[in-house]
Amino acid sequence: MPREVEISIIEREFIQNALQEGIRRDGREFDAFRPLELNFGDEYGVADVQLGKTRVIVRISVDVVAPPPERKFDGVFQIVTEFSPMASPAFEVGRPTDAEVILSRVLEKAIRRSNALDTESLCIIAGLKCFALRADVHIVDHDGGLIDASCIAVMAALQHFRRPDVIVEGEKATVLSTRERDPIPLSILHQPLSVTFSYYEEGNLFLVDADLAEEQVRQGEIIITMNRHGEICQVNKYGGAPVEPLDLLNLNNVALQKVKDISKFIQQKLDEDAKKRDAGGLMAELSAENAR
Amino acid sequence: MTTAGKIVNNEIHLQSIHHQQTQPHQLHPPEHSDGEPETKKQEMPLDTSTYSLALLRLDGRRWNELRRIHAQINTQAAADGSSYLEMGNTKVLCTVTGPAEGRQAGQRGAKDNEAKVEVEIGFAGFSGLERRKRKSDKRTLEMQHTLSTAYSSLLLTHLYPHSTITLTLHILSQDGSMLAACINASTLALIDAGIPMSDYLVACTAASSATTSDSDNSDPLLDLNNLEEQELPFLTVGTLGRSDKVSVLICESRVRMERMESMLAVGIDGCKRMREILDGVVKEYGKRFS
């Protein structure tokens, strides 16, 4: 199995010494994200997030299936993660690394278990038909901060996605194509976003959004997922060097500020995209003129 | 009736306000309170309103009481180190193998200059309410990852290059606080195995009792059983020895961020008591050799 290339001792020391002097490798503030870019695809539900050199593409797709018998009134929603070997030579298809398991578990807890998506709204006929929503998370380039980037991408894609409308007559449901009826946005209950803190110096120095080299040097990570209303959806600190409880509480406040900023950014991008799609408005739609 | 945990100047203060006349408040209850009833399998969901009236939980505990903890070390003669731990009805058996040559020495993410910590968790078919075959699902994998990263930084792994320390945990009975029980059992087994580590890693769970988001009177609860875990937002906290420093913190439920402080404070306080109990177990065992 290919192993991730370990960082050289000299680089490790360079990063640590620089951090002691209060400087990050790329000159960012300790609590600053890398430049975040978010683009939507031509289709609904495709989001492409770039966080520095890390790039994640999420695509939402929908299908009609029979709901599981124990959850008659719910739709199905699953998040599938895929680490492409293209992103890093350490990734292999079909053999999940620890990082992949943690990523899919964190996304699952952050988005699915915190009920970000109202799965009841995906029900068509109770016990017979429901929508099965699937979010495919593709890691296209890996330079650290995968969890944060994936979480942003999934939430942006879910907000961007439109599902086809259905008409229900008794036991018969007809799915209408996008030409017949405008597709409907999903009902999103809240928007959880993750902020990963990496810490150094026995838990005295916390960095937001570490890149790959910084991740390899860190003593541990704390993943905090919350929504902009200040509700924590999950906190994960899997071992690593111990930290003071007071610092943990302070990190929550930092995370909240970051989550608010990113939420605003996503909303702004969504609005821009909506405006682009709605070029010309109602008048253009009514006109017989076309692009030819 | 608010009981709030506060973290001031990095020290945990549990303040109990009101309701002293009606309920004698035990900040430090007897550690082995044998008289307390074991958790009963009740069909009814946990009704938090009854808690706020009587200030007693379903199994008759107060907010800051741990369940009955019973632990033994050196239970398996064949293993290098072993332990058996009961936290109420959660029962865990842990064995340690190693430090020994790994199955694939030098491969699979092991660093050359330090030992690798491998963790395997197995659930007995009869451990839960339903008999279900759970082949390593993601939740178990996550627990394994938590234990392995926590102990990699705690054990003095640099003393054993090119080797593997394997922790094998068997869950015999599940009744809440699973991760906490696994951590506590592993700590005991590693002590029995004589693997040097900097301090005890102990863990317990804490919850916030109010389900509505804006009411102020929420009591934090310590050491949850299964029913309480399903009903309330909770976290698992693991601290290092006598210090307040948090090594493991897992919170999987949606909770207001203001609640975190009191939950954390109560959890850390519980960990301190847990450490004393485990320390007692180790010392009791050590007496045999004096």
* Residue B210: per-residue pLDDT: 65
Q: Which residues on chain A are in Cβ contact (under 8 Å) with B148?
A: 239
How much is the pLDDT for B182? 95
Backbone conformation region of residue B60, classed left if phi is above 0, alpha if psi is from -120 to 50, else beta: left
Which pair of structure tokens corresponds to residue A156? 């942006």
Both tokens of B132, joined, read 């279900």
The closest CB to that of B246, out of A102, A231, A243, belongs to: A243
Architecture of domain B69-289: 2-Layer Sandwich (3.30)
Residue B184, CA distances (Å) to A109, B8, B152, B240 in order: 24, 27, 15, 11
Which is more confidently placed, B217 or A289? A289
Closest C-alpha among A110, A221, A238, A98 to residue B249: A238
Beta-carbon contacts of A260 under 8 Å, excluding residues fewer than 6 positions away, are: A228
Rounded Cα gap, residues A32 and A35, in angstroms: 9
pLDDT of amino acid A267: 94
Give the model's pLDDT for residue B114: 85
CB contacts of B246 in chain A (<8 Å) are 237, 242-245, 248
The predicted pLDDT at position B42 comes to 39
The four Cα atoms B225, B227, B233, B235 give a dihedral, to 10 degrees, of 20
Note the pLDDT of residue B34. 39
In A10-71, at which residue ranges do the beta strands (DSSP E only) sit? 36-40, 46-51, 54-65
pLDDT, tens digit, for every residue of A195-246? 999 999 888 899 999 999 999 999 999 999 999 998 999 999 998 889 999 9
> Residue A189: its pLDDT value, please?
92
Q: What is the mean pLDDT of each run of 10 residues along chain B (290 residues)?
A: 51 43 37 38 47 71 88 92 94 92 59 84 87 74 92 91 91 92 95 92 88 60 89 91 90 88 91 93 89
How confident is the model at residue B52, as a pLDDT? Answer: 57
Q: Are B224 and B235 in contact (CB under 8 A)?
A: no
Set of chain A residues whose Cβ sits within 8 Å of the Cβ of B268:
245
CA neighbor of A57 nearest in space, from A65, A68, A46: A46
Give the residue from chain A lying closest to B262, CA to CA: A249
Q: State the complex-level ipTM.
A: 0.88
Contacts of A239 in chain B (CB under 8 A): 146-154, 247-248
For residues A265-273, average pLDDT = 93
Interface residue of B249, B253, B261 to substitute, partner A, most A CBs within 10 Å: B249
CB contact under 8 A, B240 and A242: yes
**B182 close contact with A: CB closer than 8 A:** no
Using an 8 Å CB-CB cutoff, list chain B residues near A248.
Answer: 246, 249, 260, 264
- CA–CA dist A50, A87 (Å, integer): 13
Probe site for chain B from A246, A247, A250, A259 (most B CB atoms < 10 A) = A246
In the prediction, which pLDDT does B161 show?
A: 86
Domain residue spans of chain B: 69-289
Which pLDDT score is estimated for B54?
62
Exposure of A247 in the CB half-sphere (CA atoms within 13 A): 20
> What is the distance between the alpha carbons of residues A51 and A39, in angstroms, rounded to a whole number?
12
Q: pLDDT, tens digit, for every residue of A118-176?
A: 989 999 998 888 999 999 999 999 998 999 999 999 999 999 999 999 998 888 888 88
> pLDDT tens digit string along A97-110?
888 889 989 998 88
B191 vs B73: CA distance, rounded Å: 9
State yes or no: cis peptide before B37, omega within 30 of 0: no
Nearest chain A residue to B148 by CA distance is A239
